[in-house]
Amino acid sequence: MGKVIGIDLGTTNSVVAFMDRLEPKVIINEEGGRVTPSVVGFSKAGERFVGEIAKRQMLINPEATIHSVKRFIGKRYREAGRDIPLVNYEIVEGKSGDAAISVAGRLYTPQEISAFVLQKLKGSAEDFLGEPVTEAIITVPAHFNDRQRQATKDAGTIAGLNVLRIINEPTAAALAYLHDRKKNATIAVFDFGGGTFDISIVNINGDIGEVRATRGNNALGGADIDRALVDWLLEEFRQEHGVDVSGDRIVRQRLRDAAERGKIELSTAMETDIQLPFLTADASGPRHLQVALTRATFEMLVGPLLERTIEECRKVLQESGMGVKDIDEIVMVGGSSRIPRVKDLVKEFFGRPLNHAFNPDEVVAIGAAVQAGILEGEVKSVTLLDVTNLSLGIEVEGRRFAKLIPKNTTIPAQKVQLVSTVIDNQRAVKIHVLQGESALASENVSLGEFELVGLDAAARGSPRIEVKFAIDASGIVSVSARDGRGVHNQITIRAPTGLSKAEIEDARAEADAHQSRRDKASESTELRFTVEKQIVALETLIREHKAVLHKQDAAEAEQALKRGRMALAKSTDKGNLQDTSNYLKRFAAHLQEKLTAVHLG
C-alpha cells in the first residue's frame, strides 16, 4: 500500500493531509497554500481551472465558475431548490431527476465537479510526496445521507482514488483531538463550515473515542450568512437608488464577494465599510454602493441562522442523554466558528471553555490523515467508534416507516428482518429502503427499492425471507437476502441519483484524459520556458564576449538564436521544442569551450 492521504472536501475550501511517521501534516498545494478553494472554472475556450485561479475569475465570469457544489452532491433537483439562490451558475434537472450543472455547453454532475477538485488535491499530494497516490480517506458532513456519501465516494473514484473510508467531519476532528491529547474527556465538536453545520458529542476514554450522538444541518453554513448579507446590501442599494439589481449575476457575485470580506473583517473589527464603485449604471450614469456595516447590524441580520446551530446543540444533548454539565470542552471547527457571536453563543449555551488549539480550517483533514494512518498501520493507539446519523428502515403497510437501525447506533451495524408475502402464491417481494426520522415513509430519504423474485408458490405469510441491512464504517448501506431454500442474494442499495458503474468509469476516463492533456500542456510550457532561458543566456554570452568572438562563431550564434526564436513563435510540438532545447544546450557548451580557449591562449 502506498501513502494514504486524508481529504477534507469542503464546501468553500478543501485540505489534504498525510501521516509523516506519527505526525499528521497538511500538504502544500502548487500555489504554496495550505487550503485549496473548492472552485472549478471554465474559460470560453473550454479550458478548466481548479482552486485559486478559478476563484479569481468568479467576479468576471460567475456563470462559468462552479463553487459550493457540495450543497448539491447526491441530491435530486427538487431537493436543491433552496440552495440554488446561493450560486450564480445554472442548476438544472439531470438524469433521473438529479441536480446537474449546466456550464460551457454541457452538463456536469456534482460528482464530476467534485472529482476535479479531488484530482487537484491528488496532484498536490503527489508533487509534495514525490510518489503516486491512489488511496484516500474523504470526510463528509455528519448529516450526509447514504446517497450523498455514495456520491462523494463516486467523486473520489472519478478522480482516480480508491476511497478506503468515508468519515464524518466532526468525527475526524475528534480523531485529531484524540491523537493530540489522549486524556479522558467528553467533548462537543462544533463544526460550522462554509456550507454545513454538525455537532457531535464524543466521549474519550484513554485511547478510545466513542461518538455518543450527532446532529447536523446540510443547509446551514457560511454561504447562508453571506446570502443574508447580500440580501441586506441589495435592499440598501434599492432604497438609496431605487434600483433592483438582484437579477444581475455579476452584481450578485460582487456583492457576495464583498459580503464575505465584510464578514471576515468583522471578526476583528467593530465596523467595516463596503464600497463597490460602478455597481451598475443606467441612463443617469453609474451607481455606486457605499455602506457601513457594524458588528451589531451583522449580528442582527444573521442572528436567526446562528440560533439554529444552538438549537441543534440542544437536541444533540437530548439524544446523547447528557446535559451541558457533562461536557468538558468544545472543539471549534470550520471557518464560520471564528465569528465572535458564534463563540459567544456556544460559551453561553455550554458554559464551558472553547478549544482553539486546532486550526479550524485544517483540523478535519488532520483527523482524516490520522484515520489514514490507522488503516496503514502507522497509528495503532487510537480507536474511534462512530454512529449512524440517520435511522435506517423500510416502508411498511400504511406507507409508514419502520426503523430497523436507529439513529446514533454505533457503526458498523446490521439488522436482520424477516419479510414474507401478503397474498397467496406471491412470487416476488418488493422492499423500499429509507433513511430518516419521520413516521411517514414519504417524508424520509429513499435509498432505493429492490425486488426479491423467484419465490416458491405458497400461502401468504408462509415464505420466510431473511433480509440483512448493514451500514458499514463509511455509513454506506448494503442489503443481502436469504430465502428458506438457502438461496443467497446480495443487493447493494445505490442511490437513485447515483451514477452507474459504467458512468463512473466514463467520467474517470474523461478526467484522466483531461489530466493527460494538462500534463502534456504543462510539459510543453516548461520546455518553452527552458528554451526562453537558453536564448537569454546565449544572448548574454554573446554580448559579454563580443570583442573576442570570432566572426564565424558570431554568425553561428545568430543562427542558433534564430532557430530558438522560430521554435517559440511557431511550434507547440513537444518533440520540436525538446530538440531545439538540446541543440541550444550543445551549442552554448561548444561556444563556451571556444571562448575559454581564446582566454587561455
Per the annotation, the verdict on 328 as an active-site residue is no
- Identify the residue whose cell numbers are 467595516: 272
Catalytic residue among 55, 70, 263, 403: 70
Q: Identify the pLDDT of residue 522.
A: 61
Residues 166, 9 contacting (CB under 8 angstroms) = no
- Alpha helical stretches, state H, 215-293: 222-241, 249-265
Handedness of CA 320, 324, 328, 334 (dihedral sign): positive
Beta-strand relationship, 65-66 and 40-42? antiparallel
Contacts of 503 (CB under 8 A, 6+ apart): none
Note the pLDDT tens digit of each residue in 365-395.
Answer: 999 999 999 888 888 777 888 888 889 888 8
CA distance 247 to 235: 13
Determine the angle formed by the axes of helices 551-570 and 574-600, rounding to 10 degrees: 160
Residues 330, 355 contacting (CB under 8 angstroms) = yes
CA distance 134 to 112: 18
Angle at 269 between CA 268 and CA 275, to 5 degrees: 120
- For the chain, report the end-to-end CA distance as a whole number of angstroms: 61
Note the pLDDT tens digit of each residue in 467-482.
Answer: 888 888 888 888 877 7
Q: Identify the pLDDT of residue 237.
A: 92
| Radius of gyration of the chain measured on its C-alpha atoms | 29
How distant, in Å, are the alpha carbons of 135, 263, 369, 374, 379 from that of 18?
11, 31, 5, 11, 12
**Phi, psi of 549, rounded to the nearest 5 degrees:** -80, 130
Catalytic residue among 83, 112, 169, 312: 169
What's the grid cell of residue 61?
Answer: 465570469
Cα 529 from chain centroid? 33
CA distance 560 to 542: 12
Helix (H) or strand (E) run with residue 148 in it: helix 146-158
Q: Identify the pLDDT of residue 285.
A: 85
Angle at 396 between CA 394 and CA 402, to 5 degrees: 50
As a 3-state breakdown, the chain gives helix, strand, coil percent values, each rounded to 5, of 40, 30, 30
CA distance 419 to 498: 27
Question: DSSP class of residue 161?
Answer: -
Q: Identify the pLDDT of residue 495.
A: 45
How many Cβ atoms are within 10 Å of 597's Cβ, its own excluded?
Answer: 9
How distant, in Å, are the alpha carbons of 97, 526, 546, 576, 584 from that of 563?
57, 18, 20, 11, 9
Q: Identify the pLDDT of residue 491.
A: 52
**Phi, psi of 333, rounded to the nearest 5 degrees:** -130, 145
Helix (H) or strand (E) run with residue 117 in it: helix 110-129
What's the grid cell of residue 496?
Answer: 437513485
How distant, in Å, are the alpha carbons of 103, 317, 323 from that of 349?
44, 11, 11
Catalytic residue among 112, 146, 154, 191: 191
CA distance 5 to 165: 11
HEC secondary structure over 43-63: CCCCCEEECHHHHCCCCCCHH
CA distance 165 to 184: 26
What's the grid cell of residue 302?
Answer: 444573521
Q: Identify the pLDDT of residue 499.
A: 65
Residues 162, 511 contacting (CB under 8 angstroms) = no
CA distance 210 to 206: 11
Contacts of 128 (CB under 8 A, 6+ apart): 27, 28
What's the grid cell of residue 277?
Answer: 464603485
Q: Identify the pLDDT of residue 514.
A: 59
Residues 479, 146 contacting (CB under 8 angstroms) = no
Angle at 317 between CA 314 and CA 323, to 5 degrees: 100
- Which of 200, 227, 221 is CA-nearest to residue 306? 221
The rounded mean pLDDT for the chain is 86
Q: Identify the pLDDT of residue 223.
A: 93
Per the annotation, the verdict on 169 as an active-site residue is yes
Contacts of 97 (CB under 8 A, 6+ apart): 76, 77, 78, 496, 497
Rounded average pLDDT per 10-residue block, the chain, 601 residues: 90 94 90 93 85 90 93 90 87 87 89 94 92 94 90 93 94 89 86 94 89 91 94 93 89 92 94 92 87 95 96 95 94 94 96 89 94 85 84 86 90 86 76 88 83 74 80 84 62 53 65 60 71 84 80 82 81 75 84 74 56
Q: Identify the pLDDT of residue 516.
A: 61
Catalytic residue among 8, 112, 224, 483: 8
- Alpha helical stretches, state H, 17-109: 52-55
Note the pLDDT tens digit of each residue in 410-457.
Answer: 989 999 888 776 787 777 777 888 888 888 988 888 887 777 777 777
Question: DSSP class of residue 76?
Answer: B
CA distance 476 to 149: 7
**Phi, psi of 504, rounded to the nearest 5 degrees:** -65, -45
Residues 195, 11 contacting (CB under 8 angstroms) = yes
- Which of 116, 118, 342, 140 is CA-nearest to residue 222? 342
How many Cβ atoms are within 10 Å of 353's Cβ, its own excluded?
Answer: 10
Question: DSSP class of residue 394?
Answer: E
